[in-house]
Amino acid sequence: MATATPDHKIDITNDVCPMTFVRTRLKLETMTPGQVLEVTLGAGEPLKNVPRSVTEMGDEVVELAEITDTPGTYRLIIRKGS
């Protein structure tokens, strides 16, 4: 399955909850429905909370995968909902 090409990217690996979700949400709010956001995040609370929260807000998690050359860091691909 091909991954959607991101329209925007943010890196929240140095942020802590709840700022991880706040920064993700603020970026999504600037985007139009259907656009794709790539979020780089760390393990632990961000990995658990950000995907769940964006889904609850009506956006779609397209992919969530560990970045192979940076263990403990993940790539989250989100498609903005309507």
**H-type alpha helices, the chain:** 19-29, 45-56
Q: What's the CATH fold of domain 8-79?
A: Translation Initiation Factor IF3 (3.30.110)
**Of how many residues is the chain composed?**
82
pLDDT at 64 over 80: yes
**How large a percentage of the chain has pLDDT more than 90?**
94
Active site residues: 17
Mean pLDDT of all residues in 20-40: 97
Residue-averaged pLDDT of the chain? 94
CA angle 58, 59, 61 (to 5 degrees): 135
Mean pLDDT of all residues in 59-77: 96
